[in-house]
Amino acid sequence: MQKDRTRAFLKTWGIRALHSLFSVFVILSSLWFCMALWIQEPVNWLWSRILIGTWLAFALSILGIYISQHFFSRKKDIIIYILGFACSLFWYFGLEARQDRQWAPEVSKILHYEQRGDLVTLHNIRNFDWHADGSYTERWETRQFDLSKITGVNIITSYWMGPKIAHTLVSFDFADRQPLTFSIEIRKEKNEDFSAIGGFFRKYELSLVAADEKDIVYTRSNIRGEQVYFFPVNMPQFERKALFEEYLHKADHLAAHPKWYNTLTSNCTTLVFDMVQAVSPQQLPMDYRLFASGYLPNYLYDLHAVSHQWDMRTWYQRAHINPRVSGYKQISSADYSKLARKGLPRDAH
């Protein structure tokens, strides 16, 4: 008798636990799907909103099953919901990144190159002339680089949304050329704005931009008013060259296979980490600071990739380039790069 009561008790609580888990699944999956519909608008604005409303009504009826409400029957409603959600996953993961959209001018061209040994000729290097009102004069260039003459690698972090989130750029110094900066960015369409939430839902393709520092760093420090920090990185010569070539491989891959940007997993910091991981002889540890990208300099400091001649508080003070460059409305590329590096250690290069 006691065993039967125990069995009945466990069965009752097991059923309740399954109901609770399914309720959580319905809530989370509905939120995800409705956000995807809101961002993607697979038909048009009106019908997408109608579909969202219909889905939410059905999801609420599913949750109301345990209060005796349902559309058809308990079992049928659950089966319909699961099949509907499976179709939504099929639709979402079937969305393909493309190259043929009406792109914003600053990401309209694709980086490509020719390489003969250490000599690399890069086409579509961006060197826009940015104006105080945010407008620009468009200019794309071809430049040649000797990879044996790379003298330094620098991590640049640009803060635009508080201390936890920063855009990460990587700049290469050369003995005989102006620095070249690579940036993993969203590839915006014309009249499209960035949305961190949209970045979770296949709203933007990835873009690899190679640019002059006067273009891609200046626009952040002097035009947009972002807080920009410049950190020379300790890296052996062979790793510097390998990292540059890894960017070339990334350019090849994105040209052949467009890829979606993802705010969490495929962004300006995680992809840089993947490339460094590919050229580093030692396994780099995963760390939350790769996702909270504003703390990336601290992560590099702990790995001794940033010099320990100063503590991190001093580093942030010395690496902050805004006080050095913000007063300049007209400045040459060479002078801007010199000011960005002023007072920073050269032995890391």
Average pLDDT over residues 303-318: 94
Q: pTM for the full model? A: 0.88
pLDDT single digits (tens) 326-345: 888 889 999 999 999 999 98
Pick from 222, 251, 197, 227: nearest CA to 336:
222
> How many angstroms separate the Cα of 10 from the Cα of each of 1, 5, 14, 66, 104?
14, 9, 6, 19, 60
Would you call 16 exposed, middle or buried from its count of C-beta atoms within 10 A (0-12, 13-18, 19+)?
A: exposed
Q: Strand 129-130 to strand 150-159: parallel, antiparallel, or no bridges (unpaired)?
A: unpaired
More reliable by pLDDT, 13 or 32: 32
Tens of pLDDT along 25-60? 999 999 999 999 999 998 888 999 999 999 998 888
On whether the CB atoms of residues 243 and 235 are closer than 8 A, the answer is yes
How far apart (Å, rounded) are the C-alpha atoms in residues 306 and 234? 6
Distance CA 81, CA 32 (A): 14
Tokens 């509905």 correspond to what residue? 30
d(CA 94, CA 19) in angstroms, rounded, equals 31
Alpha-carbon span 219 to 133, nearest angstrom = 11
Residue 57 CB neighbour total at 10 angstroms: 11
